[in-house]
Chain A
Amino acid sequence: MSIPILQLKNIKLNKNGKQVLKVDQFTVEEGAIIGIVGPNGAGKSTFMKVMAFLEEPDEGEIFFRGINVSNQIGIDQRRQIAMVFQQPLMLNTTVHNNVAISLKLRNRPKKEIQELVIHWLERFGILHLQNRNAKTLSGGEAQRVALARAMISEPKLLFLDEPFTALDLPTRKRLLEDFRQVLMETKTTTLFVSHDFQEVKFLCKEMAMLYKGHLIDRAKFDEINRLQLPEELAQFLQDWMTPLAI
């Protein structure tokens, strides 16, 4: 059995004297694509930040590729992950430079950077935008740049925090299709926060459920009805998975 890429044990995080995250156990296997779901304020983004080494928990242990990295998360670990946020924050420079940034920070050779930037710009269909200032892009274009920027560093773990939410439906659909193809090809381990059930079902094979800062359970979509969940969360999931009828 292979070593999980990420393991969390007895994680607790408090803010202003209030517990905002509690995870007893969570394991992410290599190649998994997991949706993180829960009502507003459930702690999804905090959970992602802790897993992405952007926020340190107060208690608990984190194992990255089998090594306990609790309290000693360094640049080497952080450079094996990438994260895409809901609002893609673009650097005030060209699309090319935006996509190249993480490789430049790693001092990779210029020729290699150039080749990889072109590859990922082509892969996300934005090669024609490479000389544009990234601040002038539309929402859909900017999100493609953000995804290319994340994928170029070949992350061992990819975190997506509602990256498609702000896009219109046709743009979202096209980007989701392209992105799913990329994930299938690269087999990148991915954790995905979304408010949209269709998006989660389209990209992920299973989902982890958060409620009031607690990781409640993890299951495949057809197993959800069999879980013992808090009533409010069960109701949320039922509503969430039911298509909107207007």
Chain B
Amino acid sequence: MEMIGRGVIKAFEMIISRDPEIVMITLLTLKISGIATLISILIGIPLGVILAWSNFPGRKIVISIVNTAMGFPPVVVGLWVFLLLARNGPLGSLELLYTPTAIIIAQAVIASPIVIGLTSAAIMQVDEKMRLQLKSFGATKWQMLLLVLRETKYSLLAAVIAGFGGVISEIGASMMVGGNIKGYTRVLTTATVMETSKGNTDVAIGISIILMLLAYLVTLGLTIMQHREVKE
């Protein structure tokens, strides 16, 4: 209990003193997970819509693959991205391994199935009658798509929240493809593990509190946006 108390105090100390290393790690975490989430939105929403609206052979198999990928362990994703980016891997010539870009790629791979799966589920729930109604308003195909996305914005923001939550909290992939290099690829989750293994439990607890606070604040922002949209 005393250790937890010390950790909480340490967290406040680090926040109040604006510890430069912690500030840098926090900003890098936010940047990496933010970009990865953005990429997953750009990939996930269009694919989710296509999956929901199209009717091609093997569609159910694709849906079940996406649903499985939603629960992929980050360490498995990390391993495959590592194999792709390793010097002797197919993308080794890009020299991306142990860079922030490598973590962004791995996190985007983790978040995309979450966004695809939740988007397609949201779009599939749109009543067929609603689609007929939109058509009867004289909407073109693109206008219909935009209207359906607007009608499902509550669920789509939930997909974004889930995608962001999935990547900001993961450690396996970040550690495997980022390497936890101080001042370069160290993020809040890898820093927490490192401090714990070094026996600096109070620092680890402090960093974990900052991570939770960060995740909460971003999610709070998205949730406020979501509810404001619903009221409008």
Contacts and interface: CB of A to CB of B under 8 A. Distances in A.
Interface of A: 49, 52, 54, 75, 78-79, 81-83, 85, 87, 89, 91-94, 101-102, 105-106, 133, 149, 153, 159
Contacts of A92: 150-151, 230
A83 B130 CA distance: 12
Interface string B107-146: 0000000000000000000010110110111111001000
B136 A82 contact: yes
Contacts, number: 47
Contact of B138 (A89, A94, A102, A133): A102
B136 A101 contact: no
Given A81-B136, A92-B150, 14 more contacts: A75-B140, A79-B138, A82-B136, A82-B137, A83-B132, A83-B133, A85-B133, A89-B129, A91-B151, A101-B137, A105-B137, A105-B140, A133-B231, A149-B137
A33 to B, nearest CB: 19
Interface of B: 127, 129-130, 132-133, 135-140, 143, 147, 150-151, 230-232
Q: Is the interface of A mostly helix, strand, loop or mixed?
A: mixed
B138 A106 contact: yes
Contact of B135 (A78, A106, A133, A153): A78
Q: Is the interface of B mostly helix, strand, loop or mixed?
A: helix
Contacts of B231: 133
A101 B151 CA distance: 13
A89 B133 contact: yes
B132 A78 contact: no
13 contacts: A54-B132, A54-B136, A75-B138, A78-B138, A79-B138, A81-B136, A82-B137, A89-B133, A91-B151, A92-B151, A92-B230, A102-B138, A105-B140
